[in-house]
Amino acid sequence: MLKPLANGSSVGLYIIDSSDQLKKSFEEIKAKQICAYLVEPFIVGREITVGVWEKVKGHNVALPCSEVKVLAGRQFDYEGKYLGDGVQELTPAPITKEQSDECQKIALNLHQLVGCKGYSRTDMILTEKGPYLLEINTLPGLSKASFIPQQLAAMDISLRVFFEAQLAL
């Protein structure tokens, strides 16, 4: 998988499954003069994302896990997320309590370790062996379609309460 360092919303993501596709992707990246890229393995499993909210100064709360289900024939890229109906987002994620607790613990620990303030969102793949950390989003989206608002709603927390808490930090 090729993933740009500086873009969000999966813009510029390439999932590679052949040497021809890799060559074509490199040519596109070079032609578009896109930023630097990471090369990562494609991890098979369930995509889970967990928000963390600093409810009051120094008190972080893990939000409910969300699962991203990519429908057959689609990718969780910009087009799949924002332009089509190829992705289903489930909040709370239909996973076991143990899996949810483990994913939330990882998100909370990473939020603190990185020194995040206010809120963050951690993406991971839930494999048969457990969660595989992908990345932390230190400034995740807050549109109505974004995960943080979905996760807050699952806890019956309004965006107004969330934003008031952010302003009070």
Q: What is the DSSP letter of 145?
A: T
pLDDT digits (tens, 9 = 90+) for 58-90: 899 999 999 998 877 666 556 655 565 678 899
At residue 126, the pLDDT reads 98
> Residue 22 pLDDT > 80, yes or no?
yes
Kindly report the CATH class assigned to 46-168. Answer: alpha beta
Which of these, 162, 141, 35, 145, lies nearest to 80 by C-alpha position? 145
- What value does the mean pLDDT of the chain take? 88
- Report yes or no: 34 and 12 within 8 Å, Cβ to Cβ: yes
Model confidence, pTM: 0.82
- The pLDDT confidence band at residue 145, using thresholds 50, 70 and 90, is confident
Residue 38's pLDDT is what? 76
**Residues in CB range of 33: below 8 A, 6 or more apart:** none
**Domain parsing of the chain, residue ranges:** 2-39, 46-168
User: Which residue would you say has higher pLDDT here, 36 or 48?
Assistant: 48
Residue 115 half-sphere exposure toward CB, CA atoms < 13 A: 0
**Rg of the chain over CA atoms, in angstroms?**
17
